[in-house]
Amino acid sequence: MHAANVTFLERAKHDAPSDAVRVLHIEDDPTDALMVARQFRQTRLNFQHVETLSLGGSILRHDPVDVILLDVNLPDSQGVNSIEYLKRRASDIPICCISGNIAPEGANELIRAGAQDVLEKSYNDITAIERSLRFAILRERIGKDLRVRAHRDPLTGLPNRQLFEDRLASALARSRRHQTQTAVIYLDLNDFKSINDTYGHAIGDAVLKWVADRLIASVRESDTVARLGGDEFAVVLETHDGAVDFEVVREKIEQSIAEPLRIGGTELRSSVSVGVALASADPVDQLELLERADAAMYRHKAQQKSNF
């Protein structure tokens, strides 16, 4: 690219407002790239240009962007392959594709691969391109929020049952691969219904959130704590040295939750029934291991003893 053009592109990048939308423009035609920079210099879009997909991948490793404007025909990649490459490196960054001539079938294929929009390669309609980029960002944020809502308990923010089962399945796969251990701890609050009946559901919700915080504080950051529903919680424990002292973990959890909780001048005390299931040498899936831990927890609840 001509030196004057490079200077203009760099100046356009650095002169953009600090709160501008950061656009990674992957375009191998320097004339088109320069036209984009000039057309959009009065907008709140901060364009950073590279000429190849591999350079775009390098940018994504070090420089955060909000959206990608992608030429679908590049020297080192074409069409769907380009989208798949970018999604592997930055799955949550929306992509708008641009092409000089693309059939509806090709555009649909790009959308199915993960593109938010496919535009005709005409840089005369600034408004259409800017609107497409901003809508792509908005759709990605909405989609991300919906994905979070689908996998998180709305009260505690913990993973819900679906996400817990997915993480447990991944943990079991790692255990089989590395010959380590995975365990599930299943917990149920004792007499939680009486808290709701006596103090109301607002207090009951506060207790559940407090229990969630206590559980997170009782295990390692790498462990998964989930609310499975109602007053039932579960933890996935992964070991890397082939052993874990479940008695220590169980005691830490029980002692933590047994601490008094003060809400609005009222002191509440709670306890839990605990069941543990360990994935041994025989193959077991996540549902079976969870059922074993659940059964162990109910045996503990029936015994009303401190052992498990």
CA nearest 301: which of 266, 274, 261, 279? 274
Structure tokens at 167: 């993480």
Helix segments in 219-285, DSSP class H: 246-258
Q: Please name the residues in contact with 30: beta carbons below 8 A apart, sequence gap of 6 or more.
A: 1, 2, 5, 51
With tokens 């874990």, the residue in question is 244
Measured CA angle at 160 (ends 156, 164), to 5 deg: 125
Query: How many whole angstroms separate alpha carbon 174 and alpha carbon 181?
Result: 9
Structure tokens at 11: 């100046």
Q: What is the DSSP string of 138-196?
A: HHHHHHHHHHHHHHB-TTT--B-HHHHHHHHHHHHHHHHHHT--EEEEEEEETTHHHHH
Catalytic-residue membership of 241: no
Q: Which of 117, 153, 188, 231 is catalytic?
A: 231
Give yes or no for a contact between 289 and 186, defined as CB atoms under 8 angstroms apart. Answer: no
Beta bridge partners, 97, equal: 70, 118
Q: Which residues are catalytic?
A: 231
